[in-house]
Amino acid sequence: MLQESAERPRYSIVIPIFNEEAVIPLLLHRLEALMRQLDGRTEVIFVDDGSRDSSSIVLAAKAAHDPRYHFVALSRNFGHQLAITAGLDLARGDAVIVMDADLQDPPEVILDLVAEWKKGGEIVYAQRIEREGETWFKRKTADLFYGILRRLTAVDIPRDVGDFRLVDRKVLDVFKQMRERDRFVRGMFGWVGFRQTAVPYVRSARAAGSTKYPLRKMLRLANDGLVGFSDIPLRMALWVGSIVSIAALAYGAYVIGLYFAGSELVTGWASTIVVVSFLLGVNLLMTGIVGLYVGRIHAEVKGRPLYIVARKVGFPAEAEADLPKDEPAAWERRASWH
């Protein structure tokens, strides 16, 4: 096996993996071609997010025999955003790139991201100008989501931008201090500020395999983005509750007017309808929306680690020191005994 160099890499490429065995051979081939074109030492960090296929076997073997590749396996499926976080926590490069494994994010675009970084960009994000191989429904719902998010949050989150981006080391050091559980990584990088620039690219069709972001996961990500970066839902609860209250009072006044006008009314019906409409409309809406925020607080105060590392392959010793202080190394060491 080749010896690992102690030299700090100039570039780190973080790639979350979940059941991607079909695309891994082509992914490795294109990464090899990319690294020959980069002007500095490069490390590739694969984060296995609980894959059930042979992905972990192939990538662990690659990391064991090639010092440019590193492999980390999480103890279970923690989700795409936390898998990205685990890789970023261990990245040592001066510039760190996040990309997906399915090759919809073409590795060759990294050369353009690096060019913008050298011009002074501290966060360089890849912006989709075309989406190949995606359904009309997915394109329209994605466009709707970004439009709503930009209007409801104070954070500038660019339209048609995913997690494919390059971040400077000083930006990453700030990001690693942000340890919230329900993570929306692209929003977090938008929140930190710094100099941000865009590189347009055509998002390719998936090279192989099936999508790992079905509608259910897309909705959850949208919820994390909205609730995590906006208090508009709470304000909406206040507005809608006020409207329901005013409507109930107006209806009550209308019923009282009918009574004094001599209209026949079922005894007790009017007061019951007014009270029930008022209480249910306000109470259920307020409880549901506030519950979203309370649930997040509950997750935060438990203080559990964001993820648990079951195994690491190919990492130099100094990478352990780069882990954030709230991720207990003892958990990792205990898991790695198996």
pLDDT tens sequence across 268-317: 666 677 677 667 766 766 676 676 677 667 666 777 788 888 888 988 76
CA 137 to CA 144: how far, in whole Å?
Answer: 10
| Helices assigned H by DSSP within the chain | 24-37, 55-65, 80-90, 110-118, 136-152, 169-175, 185-192, 215-229, 232-260, 269-301, 318-321, 329-336
The whole-model pTM stands at 0.69
CB 97 within 8 A of CB 113: yes
Q: What is the pLDDT of residue 184?
A: 79
CB 155 within 8 A of CB 184: no
Q: What is the pLDDT of residue 226?
A: 59
CA 268 to CA 316: how far, in whole Å?
Answer: 77
Q: What is the pLDDT of residue 334?
A: 40
Closest CA to 310 of 73, 58, 51: 73
pLDDT tens sequence across 151-169: 666 666 777 778 899 999 9
CA 152 to CA 9: how far, in whole Å?
Answer: 39
Residues 6+ apart with CB under 8 A from 183: 81, 82, 85, 224, 228, 306
User: Could you tell me what percent of the chain has a pLDDT over 90?
Assistant: 27
Range picked from 129-133, 177-181, 228-232, 274-278 for highest mean pLDDT: 177-181
Q: What is the pLDDT of residue 87?
A: 92
Residue 183 has pLDDT above 90, yes or no: no
Instruction: List the Cα angle 184/186/191 in 5-degree steps.
Output: 90
What is the distance in angstroms between the CA of the first residue and the CA of the last residue of the chain?
Answer: 23
Indicate the burial class of 269 (C-beta count within 10 angstroms; 0-12, 13-18, 19 or more): exposed
Residue 127 has pLDDT above 80, yes or no: yes
Q: What is the pLDDT of residue 132?
A: 61
pLDDT tens sequence across 108-123: 999 999 999 999 999 9
pLDDT tens sequence across 196-242: 888 888 876 655 555 545 556 566 555 555 555 555 666 666 666 67
Domain boundaries 11-230+304-336, corresponding CATH code: 3.90.550.10
pLDDT tens sequence across 24-81: 999 999 999 999 999 889 999 999 988 888 888 999 999 999 999 999 999 888 888 8
CA 66 to CA 1: how far, in whole Å?
Answer: 7
What string of DSSP letters covers 262-320? Answer: T----TTHHHHHHHHHHHHHHHHHHHHHHHHHHHHHHHHHT---S--EEEEES--THHH
Domain ranges within the chain, ordered by starting residue: 11-230+304-336, 232-301
